[in-house]
Each structure stands twice: as C-alpha cells, then as structure tokens.
C-alpha cells in the first residue's frame, strides 16, 4: 500500500521537541537526553506509535525510543506524546540502516513489530533480522542482546529464526499464537478483523 504524504509533515517533525534532531550526536550519551540512568528500550518501525506509547505510559522507570523513517506516519504519535507529556519517550525520524552510528552499548531491548518482510530474495538485506542488520545491532546493546519480534509473515518468521541462530542469538520465548495486551495498530486491526469474520 502506498504511503500517504501529509503536507508539512517534515516541518512538524523537525520542530517537535519529542523528535531528536541529529541523533548521531548522542551516540554513547543517550542517558543525557533522558536525564537518568534507566534502561532504554528501542522500537524500530514504530508506525503510529500505539505500542511504544502504551509501554512508556505503563513503565515510567524505563526510557523508550521509537524509530520511524516516514514523517507523515509520526504525526498522530507526536500529538499524543506532547499532549500527555510522556517524558520517557523520544522519537528518531531516520533510516534504521544507520542505527550503529546512533547508539553504542545503550539499548537493553529491541522491538521489531510487524516489520516489512521484503519477500523478494534480492531485497533480503533490507529485512530487519537479516545478518547485515543483526551485525549492526551488535554494538547497540548494553549487556545481553534481547530482541522481541512479532510478525504475521511465516517466511519472515522462519528466515528470522535461522538468522538468529547463525548470529548466536538464543530463543527465550517462541509462539505462533501470542497476543500481548499492548498491541500495535496493525495488530489491533488484524485481531478485530479475524474475530469479526470468525465468530
């Protein structure tokens, strides 16, 4: 589906206090952005922000960073974060391929929720669980490398498991029928559709 561009979205995002401009300047110093030493959890591809916003509201003792490439997608999330003054959540509007230029030994958990599966073989390097990306993540984690992934794409699911194995990640929890009470907007839509057509 083609992404709808919203007029002036780039200016709104670039002027928001929630969005960190020039994030590479904070590499190794993200605790100074939040003003504390709390753990930092990161979501790549946060979309409209339902998932990470709810986590930040429930867990004030954890700092959250949402990564999203497209300014138009972020506008709704920014309104909520600003209006509710959610101080433990910051946003980066950038391409995730540059992630190891932005963080160094600072992330305690990484969320990958319903990432683009990039189904064509020639696009495999773009998958967020490809060996290329997993190598990039190596330098961002503080301590154990913890990735929490959700996907509804079987091919990406199996591909990811293989990549994790090759990159020496260990499976702590694995389920094909797992629903968290904190969901992405995509997940909510899927669940509502599923139950609507199957009662």
**CA 94 – CA 110 distance, rounded (Å):** 16
The answer as to whether 85 is a domain residue is yes
The answer as to whether 168 is a domain residue is yes
pLDDT on residue 188 = 54
Q: How many structural domains compose the chain? A: 1
Secondary structure tally for the chain: helices H, strands E: 7, 5
The answer as to whether 3 is a domain residue is no
Q: CB–CB of 124/130 below 8 Å?
A: yes
**CA 30 – CA 106 distance, rounded (Å):** 7
Overall average pLDDT of the 74-102 stretch? 95
Q: CB–CB of 65/43 below 8 Å?
A: yes
Range of weakest confidence among 8-17, 24-33, 147-156, 180-189: 180-189
Return the higher-pLDDT residue of 32 and 187.
32
Q: pLDDT tens digits for 49-79? A: 999 999 999 999 999 999 999 999 999 999 9
Which DSSP string corresponds to 74-90?
HHHHHHHHHHTT-TTEE
The answer as to whether 2 is a domain residue is no
The answer as to whether 4 is a domain residue is no
Please check the confidence at residue 174 and state whether its pLDDT lies above 90: no
Residue of 95, 101, 116, 181 marked active site: 116
The answer as to whether 28 is a domain residue is yes
**Confidence class of residue 30 from pLDDT cuts 50, 70 and 90?**
very high
- 101: domain CATH number is 3.40.50.150
pLDDT on residue 194 = 40
Is 95 noted as a catalytic residue in this protein? Answer: no
pLDDT on residue 190 = 52
Please check the confidence at residue 3 and state whether its pLDDT lies above 70: no
Q: What is the pTM for the complete model shown?
A: 0.86
Domain span including residue 151: 9-197
Please check the confidence at residue 177 and state whether its pLDDT lies above 70: no
3 state DSSP class of 139: coil
pLDDT on residue 7 = 76
The answer as to whether 1 is a domain residue is no
The answer as to whether 24 is a domain residue is yes
**Confidence class of residue 9 from pLDDT cuts 50, 70 and 90?**
confident
């Amino acid at each position: 589906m083609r992404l709808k561009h919203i007029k002036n979205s780039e200016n709104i995002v670039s002027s928001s206090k929630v969005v960190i401009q020039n994030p590479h300047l904070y590499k190794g110093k993200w605790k100074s952005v939040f003003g504390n030493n709390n753990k930092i959890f990161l979501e790549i591809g946060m979309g409209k922000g339902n998932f990470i916003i709810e986590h930040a509201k429930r867990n004030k003792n954890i700092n959250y960073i949402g990564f999203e490439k497209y300014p138009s997608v972020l506008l709704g999330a920014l309104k909520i974060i600003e209006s509710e003054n959610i101080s433990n959540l910051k946003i980066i509007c950038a391409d995730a391929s540059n992630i190891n230029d932005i963080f160094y030994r600072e992330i305690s958990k990484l969320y990958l929720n319903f990432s683009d599966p990039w189904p064509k073989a020639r696009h495999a390097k773009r998958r967020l669980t490809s060996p290329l990306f997993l190598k990039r993540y190596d330098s961002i984690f503080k301590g154990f490398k913890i990735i929490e992934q959700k996907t509804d794409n079987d091919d990406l699911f199996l591909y990811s498991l293989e990549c994790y194995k090759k990159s020496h990640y260990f499976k702590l929890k694995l389920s094909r029928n797992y629903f968290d009470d904190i969901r992405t907007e995509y997940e909510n839509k899927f669940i509502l559709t599923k139950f609507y057509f199957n009662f």
